[in-house]
Amino acid sequence: MNWDNFDFIDLFAGIGGIRLGFESVGGHCVFSSEFDEAACKTYEANFGEHPSGDITKIDAKDIPDFDILVGGFPCQAFSIIGKKEGFDNETCGTLFFDIERILKEKRPKAFMLENVRNLTAHDKGNTFRIIRKHLEALDYSVYAKVLNALDFGVPQKRERIIIVGFKDNVLFDFPSPTPSSQRKTLADILEPDVDSKYYVRESIKKSRLLRLKDPNYPKPYISHENMAGSITPHPYSLCLRAGASANYILINDERRPTEREMLRLQGFPDDFKIVVPYGQIRHQCGNSVAVPVIKAVAKQMIYALKLYEENIKALA
């Protein structure tokens, strides 16, 4: 198998952040699926294909053959009813079940799944335990680790669990953080001339500055309003969220980030096309992945697969 040129499928594809990561190491996407129509519009503008819709309605047999399955799947709680019905049914009714049935049918060499950090703590760790157990029952070696986007070159604190699996007994190490000298700062990603429409009303600005924990904090900074109402500045963005109000994060307590700045906070390239309104891009960025994290993981996966195959050849 030539791991410089492999096929993958992109499930729960969003706007294609994971796809960018796997294309960067020689991957060719042969199938994509995304439920949200606005996200599909952004995906199609950038990749020239409209993802297939609801994965729960797609027969695994109809998916082209591929080497690696990737996806950032939504985490819904696993049903109590499922647990009562025994192992085979305990993932039913969740979107993880669709990943499981596709892995079972297609038997790819590897997979990479991404989810919120809280997956490990959810339901006292039961949800993650069930996921891991089901992946291992399909005879995959499973590795999991929480990685922070801040460590991989973008100025955004975003912690996500990455779950990697291999059909063979492949030894895998998660990537090391990007050296500090190669990481982008807030100043690197901010646009120099920003339209006045991004600036907040004077009353909001005054209110935020009055509550700013450190009024002498060096600019540029990004602040957010916490539950208690205090405003804390940081030299990076807190985690972009899909559902947060428009005033959730502000740059220098003066303005909202632009569409391009939000994409840059997630490590998307500047030629990534924006074809939907502000609110939708904000939602899409909040749901997306930090591309440099995925690139680093993809690179390590391909390295591990190549090494495994070299060792098998040497032993033959």
Is 75 one of the catalytic residues? yes
Which of 29, 40, 75, 285 is an active site residue? 75
pLDDT over 90 percentage in the chain: 81
Statement: residue 172 has pLDDT above 90: yes
Q: What is the pLDDT of residues 50-93, one digit of tens each?
A: 999 999 999 999 999 999 999 998 866 665 545 556 666 777 77
Cα dihedral 21, 52, 73, 179 in deg (nearest 10): 10
| pLDDT score recorded for residue 153 | 96
Q: DSSP labels for 137-189? A: HTT-EEEEEEEEGGGGTSSB--EEEEEEEESS-----PPPPPPGGGSPPHHHH
At residue 105, the 3 state secondary structure works out as helix
Q: What is the pLDDT of residues 212-253, one digit of tens each?
A: 988 899 999 999 888 788 899 999 999 998 876 645 799 999
The residue that leads in pLDDT, 244 or 171, is 171
| d(C-alpha 241, C-alpha 248), whole Å | 9
Per-residue burial over 7-16, b = 16 or more CB atoms within 10 Å of its CB, e = otherwise: ebbbbbbbbb
Q: What is the pLDDT of residues 265-275, one digit of tens each?
A: 999 999 999 99
Q: Residue 298: which of 111, 98, 86, 55 has the closest Cα?
A: 111
| pLDDT score recorded for residue 203 | 95
Q: Residue 220: which of 248, 196, 255 has the closest Cα?
A: 255
| pLDDT score recorded for residue 297 | 98
Domains and CATH numbers, the chain: 6-181+287-315 (3.40.50.150), 192-257 (no CATH)
Q: What is the pLDDT of residues 126-140, one digit of tens each?
A: 889 999 999 999 999
* Residue entry with tokens 């700045």: 261
| pLDDT score recorded for residue 74 | 80
